[in-house]
Structure 1
Amino acid sequence: MTIELRRMRRTGRLAGAVMLAGLGFAAPAMAQDAGGAERIPYPVDTVTLVTHSSPGGGSDVFLREMSRFLGQIIDANFVVENVSGGSGANAMAHMKAAATDGSVLYATTPTYVFTSLLSNVEASYADLEPVVNVFYDPQVIYTRADAPFTSMAEVLDKAKAGRSAWGAANPGSLERLTLENLKRLTGVDAAIVTSEGGGDTMINVLNGTLDVAIGEIQELRSQLDAKQVRLLAVASEERLEAFPDLPTLKEGGVDLVVRKFRGLAGPKNIAPEAVAAWEQAIPRLLENPEYKALYSASTLVPAFVPHAEYGPFTAAFADEQRKVLTEAGVIQ
């Protein structure tokens, strides 16, 4: 299942840790950013960035790393809050009831669309206002370092021969559906185990409960550096520049490519002043040398999409996935 970002490319705008749940931190107040530019005015003093992910999950890491630099660019303090449960359903309900003054924003990924399509939720993606997109996040399949797998072919051979368990974050996530597609395309039978975030999935890979899992480099960074996990494949069109020896699934004979977007949404009718501030801030953030080093190491691809285009992009993605799920008989 491919999420095409053609719309992003056509705009010409595609640019060339973990804390306890519910806790965050305030970025230090600074008059200027690292480049000497004045901070962008914002309508409130404190902004809460909400994620449905548990601590250590991709969205949690995304928000916490970004928050370290936002206070240098926007004249506000930033706090991260984990509102887990229901594969994003609880977080969407929380956002629907949030103030519209720009004080609360949500980390968007395909999960909030899939959860809306697959479940009877109190609030859906359509109840939120897409503000800006920030990144495209490649998906990788990994195992523990001492596992008996050195390639995807060996993983698939085990699944064909007997019991195998694969992990993904959230039942309604892009990761879960990617693994379901992997099973369908290869004809293997593996149990897919989901959790409320990449951190929980990681634990089950490391303790041997799961043979493999799918996730992002940013949530695997510490374990990769400690040589606790081994990457087996990436679900992208081409190999990652930072991991040139990591083969794509297509190189292994599986025609499967996915692209995961990462951005921000607010409640409907979010203050225009807040939207304008984010549209100014994200390009500056992506050019911050220290932040660029962080996200480049995590293979995040800058993909800024402004407010006027992010809403139509999200709607088009949802329509595409609704069609796919309907044709597959998953939904009616």
Structure 2
Amino acid sequence: MNLMKSIGMAALGIATAAILSGASAMADPLPYPNKVVTLVTHSSPGGGSDVFLREMTKHLGKYIGATFIVENAQGGSGAKAMARVATAPADGSVFYATTPTYIYTSLMSKPQNTYKDLDPLVNIFADSEVIYTRTDGPFKSLKDVIEHAKKERGRWGAANPASLERQAAEQLKRAAGVTPAIVTHEGGGDMMLNVLNGTLDIGIGEIQELRSQLDAGTITLLATFNPERIVEKPDVPTVKESGFDVSLVKFRGLAGPKGIPETTTAIWDEAIKKLLEDPDYKKAYTAEVLVPQFIPHKDYPAFIDNFGSTTEAFLKSTGAIK
């Protein structure tokens, strides 16, 4: 072997080693103070937050050195889950899946522990609220649903009484001038069954909890509450395009007990940024029409406080609370 070839082979070996070393470093998860982390949701199995957490935990271990488990603490429209987390140790071992539900529950039900007793950790996604119906049913558009409601009142499905889905249904009722019965559910699974068997005209939920039925063609999306059409679902009109001036977007993040150390919140900030760029996870969350909306720990409390005060003003204006 001549000298130049030997130098070339050595350089190639060094470069390969450096690449492998860099890949190994990138793959090493961030050290974490707890071996097990519990992520709590108020959703039933198969509900939006449950699906969100279970998919995320498949990938999160690559970026945080812990084992993640999902706990379904159902009851009280999120009151039980908030109490579970608010009273947990503030050591980074327990977090709650935040959505607008925990704001609405806090304001409308006044539980023992409210969203103000939790420390917003980080926001991860914005989520689309959609209106769906059974494909073999009588409704082919949102206008069909509204016309039916004008004639026969009808029945609409939503999540628990203190959810964004319920508020979306109430706002649509008011915008359309109709009075359908709003039937609430603790989880998306029960609501889906009632849409499929014709007990409900429509359901309101998120695409990730509808995925299997959408893929099977048994349900059809009629509209989205998004301000603009969903990029992955360009044929689905917005509620506003359908003639009813209502726009809503759901946030998805995490919160923990008050007093989480800054060293722990910094780990989550760094890990979530990396997680959202993970090719495998990006493929999964794009399929579920989740839009990355990273809000770091330093900014998330202000975001939640603003959402809370805006929601409180709206609920007071409608007479839902005093």
Normalised to the residue count of structure 1, the TM-score between the two structures is 0.89
CA shift, 1:73, in A, is 1.0
Q: 2:103 aligns with which of 91, 113, 119?
A: 113
User: Which residue of the partner structure matches residue 327 of structure 1?
Assistant: 317
- Deviation string, structure 1 residues 184-227 (Cα, Å, up to 9, x no partner): 01001100011112222112111211110111111111110111
Decide whether the 8 Å contact of 2:213 with 2:219 is kept in 1: yes
Letter in 2 for 1:183: K
Letter in 2 for 1:53: S
CA shift, 1:154, in A, is 0.4
CA shift, 1:278, in A, is 0.7
User: Which residue of the partner structure matches residue 233 of structure 1?
Assistant: 223
User: Which residue of the partner structure matches residue 159 of structure 1?
Assistant: 149
Specify whether residues 34 and 192 from structure 1 end up closer, same or farther in structure 2 by C-alpha distance, changes over 3 A only.
farther
The alignment-based identity, stated in percent, is 57
User: Which residue of the partner structure matches residue 81 of structure 1?
Assistant: 71
Q: Secondary structure at the match of 2:245?
A: coil
Decide whether the 8 Å contact of 1:136 with 1:302 is kept in 2: yes
CA shift, 1:87, in A, is 0.4
Is 1:279 matched with 2:269? yes
Decide whether the 8 Å contact of 2:153 with 2:178 is kept in 1: no
Decide whether the 8 Å contact of 2:135 with 2:218 is kept in 1: yes
User: Which residue of the partner structure matches residue 36 of structure 2?
Assistant: 46
User: Which residue of the partner structure matches residue 251 of structure 1?
Assistant: 241
- Deviation string, structure 1 residues 223-248 (Cα, Å, up to 9, x no partner): 10111111000111211111111111
Q: 2:259 aligns with which of 263, 269, 278?
A: 269
Q: Secondary structure at the match of 2:165?
A: helix
Decide whether the 8 Å contact of 2:95 with 2:254 is kept in 1: yes
Decide whether the 8 Å contact of 1:33 with 1:73 is kept in 2: no
Q: Secondary structure at the match of 2:241?
A: helix
Letter in 1 for 2:224: V
CA shift, 1:328, in A, is 1.4
Is 1:315 matched with 2:318? no
Q: 1:172-183 to 2 correspondence within 5 Å?
A: 172-183=162-173
Letter in 1 for 2:243: G
Specify whether residues 188 and 46 from structure 1 end up closer, same or farther in structure 2 by C-alpha distance, changes over 3 A only.
same
Letter in 2 for 1:234: T
Superposed structure 1 runs of 4+ greater than 4 Å apart: 32-35
CA shift, 1:163, in A, is 3.3
Q: Distance in 2 between matches of 1:51 and 1:276?
A: 23
Decide whether the 8 Å contact of 1:218 with 1:298 is kept in 2: yes
Q: Secondary structure at the match of 2:81?
A: helix
Letter in 2 for 1:296: T
Q: 5+ unaligned residues in a row in structure 1: which ranges?
A: 1-31
Q: 1:217 aligns with which of 189, 207, 211?
A: 207
Q: Distance in 1 between matches of 2:194 and 2:93?
A: 35
**Superposition RMSD on alpha carbons, in Å?**
1.5
User: Which residue of the partner structure matches residue 186 of structure 1?
Assistant: 176
Identify the range of structure 1 (35-44 vs 98-107) with the bigger mean alpha-carbon deviation.
Answer: 35-44
Decide whether the 8 Å contact of 1:107 with 1:262 is kept in 2: yes
User: Which residue of the partner structure matches residue 11 of structure 1?
Assistant: none
Q: Secondary structure at the match of 1:257?
A: coil
CA shift, 1:34, in A, is 9.1
Q: Secondary structure at the match of 1:307?
A: coil
CA shift, 1:272, in A, is 2.2
Q: Distance in 2 between matches of 1:327 and 1:240?
A: 30
Q: 5+ unaligned residues in a row in structure 2: which ranges?
A: 1-21
Specify whether residues 217 and 43 from structure 1 end up closer, same or farther in structure 2 by C-alpha distance, changes over 3 A only.
same
Decide whether the 8 Å contact of 1:149 with 1:155 is kept in 2: yes
Q: Secondary structure at the match of 1:241?
A: coil
Q: Distance in 2 between matches of 1:199 and 1:268?
A: 32
